[in-house]
């Protein structure tokens, strides 16, 4: 399980803007990082082909959203998205040119299973996004994620 934590600005019942610059992320950045990883991720539906930029290792994961929750903390709307991650053989991923989008992701790992994730996306070579989205990731379920966010705050 992993839980992604987004600070959001609610535009309507089902429309949110992600706030990449917020106090939780600033507080997380004050901690001492353990490691930093850079990936290119090819997405085909719920399959992710993940390529580590440094060592070129490839893995394939099936990502299934298990739950979504919205809460508030210090007048901020917080969206929690918990996903079940299953490693699958590389052969499960279709031909490399058959993907929905590419994600460029940098993951900085801190103590307590907390990670800062920064990513930009593209749907094809002509549609590269310059916007970097930042969010917090916890390698655990939503209950642990909420506890860690409360401590970080």
The full set of domains in the chain, from first to last, is 2-152 (3.20.100.10)
**Of 12, 120, 26, which is closest to residue 70 (Cα–Cα)?**
12
**Of 69, 122, 133, 76, which is closest to residue 99 (Cα–Cα)?**
122
Q: d(Cα 57, Cα 19) in Å, to the nearest integer?
A: 32
Compute the average pLDDT of residues 137-144: 88
**What is the per-residue pLDDT for 59?**
96
Confidence of residue 128 (pLDDT cuts 50, 70, 90): low
Percent of the chain with pLDDT strictly greater than 70: 93
The Cβ of residue 33 has, within 10 Å, a number of other Cβ atoms equal to 13
**Mind listing the pLDDT tens digit for each residue in 49-104?**
999 999 999 999 999 999 998 888 777 889 999 999 999 999 989 876 778 889 99
Token pair for 15: 């429309």
């Amino acid at each position: 399980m992993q839980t992604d934590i987004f600070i959001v600005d609610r535009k309507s019942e089902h429309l949110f803007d992600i706030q990449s610059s917020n106090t939780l992320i600033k507080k997380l950045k004050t901690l001492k990082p353990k490691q930093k990883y850079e990936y290119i991720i090819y997405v085909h539906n719920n399959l992710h082909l993940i390529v580590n930029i440094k060592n070129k290792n490839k893995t394939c994961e099936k990502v299934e959203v298990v739950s979504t929750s919205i809460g508030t903390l210090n007048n901020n709307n917080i969206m929690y998205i918990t996903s079940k991650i299953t490693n699958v053989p590389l052969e499960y991923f279709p031909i490399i040119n058959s993907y929905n989008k590419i994600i460029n992701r940098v993951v900085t790992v801190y103590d307590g299973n907390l990670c800062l994730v920064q990513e930009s996306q593209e749907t094809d070579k002509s549609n590269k996004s310059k916007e970097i989205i930042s969010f917090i990731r916890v390698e655990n379920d939503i209950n642990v994620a909420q506890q860690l966010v409360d401590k970080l705050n």
